[in-house]
Amino acid sequence: MAKKVTKIGVLTSGGDAPGMNAAVRAVVRTGIYYGLEVYGIMRGYTGMVENDIIPMHSRSVANIIQRGGTILKTARCKEFLQKEGRQKAYNNLKDLGIDGLVIIGGDGSFRGADVFSREFDIPCIGIPGTIDKDIAGTDFTIGFDTAVNTAVESIDKIRDTADAHDRLFIIEVMGRDAGYIALHSGIATGAEHILIPERKTDMEELISSLQEKERRKKLVNMVVVAEGDEFGGGDQVAALVKERLPNVDTRLCILGHIQRGGSPTCLDRLIASRMGYSAVECLLEGRHNVMVGILNNRMQYTLLEKAVKSKQKISDEWMKIVKILAS
């Protein structure tokens, strides 16, 4: 029978994502509702190693649901990668009596949680907080919807300039080695081409298509590129296009970290609240080493090990839609 948790810690780790604060709020208030003591661990695993851990109360998370970033801060911790660092972290948790953890982050954060939980037999529950949407076991990750909407808003504005000047714009969006932000924002903004890591880019086909559009006097052309594309992102694609099509007025725009910040959308606030609540329920039920996700509007529990080893797959249907709608 699983040991009953009485004190839990919550941390945010890896890259920040809009909606992390909503998840923290849900964890804290759900824990308090069930009579648990809740602690906030500052700066991810770094705070666990350095004992930067503070008690959280209901008022600690007041007025944060609408804020981007994370009030607990986030960092990457090299010391936690070593057994000695993890031992130090465990000792700090043990001194405080913390017997359960909620980790809000991406695949790297979950790998650390999985190893830590197995070494010291402390239950860890993961909440997928990453704008990249590159974790299996959930239809949504916290921050993705906000990041996509930020990209869409920016690309719409770039299209106005492209139309005014008859320019070709190469627009790089974030996503690391996943193409979801590029795919969704590209379709939503009517991009003529979308280049993603999951599909091999035929540069000759891209050049030929752009030449054809030039012959047809198609005045506005938008190419959305994921930063992890095989050609090295937008700058490399833009360089190749300029070399092959010197007469086309081509501009590069890298949206960058603007996609990480900002007030989370309604969807991100909702899923963060739902996942935070479910994470505490998991600890109370005695679950170990699982990620809470949402599939087909139902809660889904995936082993952390499986969540980090598998990736969301982009279907061929999406790519067919891109090709047809951009023709």
The strand pair at 298-303 and 290-295 is best described as: antiparallel
192 appears as a binding residue in the annotation: yes
300 appears as a binding residue in the annotation: no
159 appears as a binding residue in the annotation: yes
Three-state DSSP class for 180?
Answer: helix
139 appears as a binding residue in the annotation: no
Find the catalytic residue in 132, 134, 145, 268.
Answer: 132
Q: Indicate if 316 belongs to the active site.
A: no
29 appears as a binding residue in the annotation: yes
15 appears as a binding residue in the annotation: yes
d(CA 302, CA 88): 28
132 appears as a binding residue in the annotation: yes
Q: Which two tokens stand for residue 93?
A: 């948790």
Of 243, 199, 204, 207, the residue nearest 223 (C-alpha):
207
Output DSSP code: residue 213. H
215 appears as a binding residue in the annotation: no
237 appears as a binding residue in the annotation: no
Write the DSSP assignment of 154-175 as a string of letters.
HHHHHHHHHHHHT-EEEEEE--
d(CA 298, CA 300): 6
311 appears as a binding residue in the annotation: no
257 appears as a binding residue in the annotation: yes
Task: Count Cβ atoms below 10 Å from residue 49 Cβ, excluding itself.
Answer: 24
Q: Which two tokens stand for residue 259?
A: 């996609």
25 appears as a binding residue in the annotation: yes
- 122 exposed, middle or buried (CB, 10 Å; 0-12, 13-18, 19+)? buried
H helices, E strands: number in the chain: 11, 11
Residues making up the annotated binding site for ATP are: 15, 76-77, 106-109
Catalytically active residues are 132
Residues making up the annotated binding site are: 15, 25-29, 76-77, 106-109, 130-132, 159, 167, 174-176, 190-192, 216, 218-220, 227, 251, 257-260
Residues making up the annotated binding site for ADP are: 25-29, 159, 190-192, 216, 218-220
Residues making up the annotated binding site for Mg(2+) are: 107
Residues making up the annotated binding site for substrate are: 130-132, 167, 174-176, 227, 251, 257-260
